[in-house]
Amino acid sequence: MDMPNLNTTHHFDVIIVGSGGAGLSLALSLPDHFNIAVLAKSELTDTSTFYAQGGVAAVLDETDSIQQHIDDTMIAGAYLCETAAVRQTVEGGKASVDFLLEHGVQFTLDEDEQLHLTREGGHSQRRIIHAADATGRAISTTLVEQAREKSNIVIFENFIAIDLITTRKLNSGNQPNRAVGLYALDEKNEGVHTFLAPFTALACGGAMKAYLYTSNPDIATGDGIAMAYRAGCRVANMEFNQFHPTCLYHPKARSFLITEAMRGEGAYLRLPDGERFMLRFDERAELAPRDIVARAIDYEIKRLGIRHVWLDISHKPAEFVKEHFPTLYAHLLGLGIDITRDMIPVVPAAHYTCGGVMVNENSQTDIEGLYAIGETSYTGLHGANRMASNSLLECFVYGLSAARDIEAKFRPCLKVPDVPAWDATQVANPDEDVVILQNWDELRSTMWNYVGIVRTTKRLERALHRIEMLKREITEYYRDYHVSKNLIELRNLVLVSEMIVRCAMQRKESRGLHYTLDYPELSPELRKTVLIPPNFGVEQPLVNH
């Protein structure tokens, strides 16, 4: 149900930050007697899930197998994936698909009225269920509709989480750290509300707005990762940032993605002279994992001094193209590109955060009562590179597992302590918002130029120097002035950018999405890169990685 007119302190059983596939799968899987808050930074459908074009990977065909899906994932992840997490996710595919079907998601069917399966880069079999080329839209709108109909789910749109509230932060004693809620800004009314609950879940997506060019919606500013780290959670593998190979290059289209399924259905990548250049980089050509394809495109763009390459599916029958990619066909036709006849100009763009907040098999973080799900989390599934359509699957598998864990741990006697209201008496109204805009632009340009698809130690050192200066300026600004959406996001983004650089500097090899000219070879050691916050607890962490 929609948000009623409540006081500025709200009490719930579970608080969920984020309204994408991860957050809503958790909300809809909890028992109806739980009182649940769902916080969305913008509208409920303004999520990465909504914009996902590809689909959900799951072993559903008799010619496929769990082991094949596991093997494909390990290969795509450059063998840095954690086997237990991969197996849990892959084995949870059928249950996740059943969950979506039970909640009314309409997927594309084949001639036999069975779920149509397509194939994407890195997959050895057709195992991607989809809703034409707008799977995310179908999933998001359906789950949002279901959530709005639930009387136990209270929706807070345009509420931006600021910081978590933990028992250690409240009492400063050497005791187990438990999350008891968070502060959030009501953007429309400019007030800060206090949300209290024995269980909190961060499902706020990734951090690819750290880069100048990205396929992500504006909400992807690393809020959950930054908040969890500040509260005392470990973060892992932030150096692995996936650049989607094919983002539309067009002055009238902002952050528009060309689905990987197009290459799965036979589209070619071409240079201006028509050459299919991917054959020179990998025997799998256009179906190579995304990191290989993105680096190849980046190399050719820099080698030839061109602004983009071309994606071409015009050799396929026109009716085939329109049937498989109706959304893309209509959208691009509106921009003057007929994909049944014309090639599509494309460039790589920052797309997915493979690292995140460390969690166990139940999405539990290092802090009791705090969960992280989806792109906010590090489960161990993606390793050094996310395989296409595994991310939506991860949202549902871990959303369902978090729901089971919360239900098992819930006790009516669980109470949260008294929490002081947000204190804004010592700050002033900002005098020059241009400071935020300047720092925002400088941060994203620094990340794009120095911490992009190809890296060097010198570039990383320069990036870290600039980020540390920006972080000091932003921290000072945050302490002196009233919070705003832009300031909250910038504060989170500069911290997450620092994490990306520090993780990248620790990895002395080129593996998966992290490619450095100074260490072009693979290291014989397989290890994740872990950042430990200064306030990390001395008690036994809950994460079992």
- CATH assignment at residue 104: 3.50.50.60
pLDDT per residue over 131-171, tens digit each?
Answer: 988 899 999 999 999 999 999 999 999 999 999 999 987 77
Is the pLDDT at 432 greater than 90? The verdict is no
Structural domain includes residue 538: no
Residue 545 lies in a domain: no
Q: Please, what's the b/e burial string for 288-319 (b: 16 or more CB within 10 A of its CB; e: otherwise)?
A: bbbbbbbbbbbebbeeeeeebbbbbbbebeee
194 lies in the same domain as 305: no
Asked if residue 149 and residue 29 are part of one domain, the reply reads yes
Residue 373 lies in a domain: yes
Q: What is the pLDDT of residue 5?
A: 44
CATH number at residue 304: 3.90.700.10
Residue ranges of alpha helices (H) inside 15-120 are: 21-29, 48-51, 66-76, 83-91, 93-102
Give ∠ CA 390-394-399 in degrees, rounded to 5. Answer: 160
DSSP code per residue over 171-184: H-SSS--BEEEEEE
Helices 485-506, 223-231: inter-axial angle, 10-degree rounding:
70
Residue 544 — pLDDT band, cuts 50, 70, 90? very low
Is 331 within the bounds of a domain? yes
List, for residues 181-223, the tens digit of each pLDDT value: 999 999 998 899 999 999 999 999 999 999 988 989 899 999 9
Question: Do 369 and 235 share a domain, yes or no?
Answer: yes
Residue 261 has pLDDT above 60, yes or no: yes
Q: What percent of the chain has pLDDT over 90?
A: 79
Same domain, 91 and 131: yes
Q: Give the integer Cα–Cα distance in Å for 526 and 410.
A: 37
From CA 359, how far away is CA 545, in angstroms rounded? 8
Phi/psi for 312 (5° steps) reads -130, 120
Same domain assignment for residues 279 and 132: no
Domain residue limits at 264: 243-350
User: Is residue 219 located within the same domain as residue 248?
Assistant: no
Q: Which residues pair with 257 in a beta bridge?
A: 247
Same-domain check for residues 128 and 203: yes
Q: Is 234 helix (H, G, I), strand (E, B) or coil?
A: coil
The residues, ordered by sequence, that sit 6+ positions from 503 with a Cβ below 8 Å of its Cβ are 237, 238, 239, 355, 529, 531
Q: How far apart are CA 361 and CA 86, in angstroms?
A: 11
Nearest alpha-carbon partner for 300 in 338, 272, 341: 272
In a domain, 185, yes or no: yes
Mean pLDDT score of the chain = 92
Burial group, residue 441, by CB count within 10 angstroms (0-12, 13-18, 19+): exposed
Between residues 53 and 343, the one the model is more confident about: 343
Q: Are residues 124 and 262 in the same domain?
A: no
> Whole-prediction pTM value?
0.90
Same domain, 374 and 295: no
**Domain assignment present for 535:** no
Q: Which residue has the higher pLDDT, 399 or 257?
A: 399
Task: Using DSSP bridges, classify how beta strands 356-358 and 377-378 pair: parallel, antiparallel or unpaired.
Answer: parallel
Residues 366 and 298 in one domain: no
Query: pLDDT tens digits for 460-492?
Result: 999 999 999 999 999 999 998 899 999 999 999
- Catalytic center residues: 290
- Joined together, the tokens standing for residue 510 give 């080129």
In a shared domain, residues 185 and 81: yes
196 and 120 in a common domain? yes
| Dist. CA 463–CA 443, nearest whole Å | 9
User: Looking at the 3D structure of the chain, how many domains does it have?
Assistant: 3
Distances 26 to 77, 164, 199, 379, 402 between C-alpha atoms, Å: 26, 19, 12, 16, 7
Domain stops at, among 303, 330, 350: 350
Please, where are the H alpha helices in 413-519? 434-450, 457-480, 485-506
Tell me, what's the pLDDT at 540?
A: 47
Instruction: Find the CATH number of the domain harbouring 485.
Output: 1.20.58.100
pLDDT tens digits along 480-534: 889 999 999 999 999 999 999 999 999 999 999 999 999 999 999 999 999 999 9
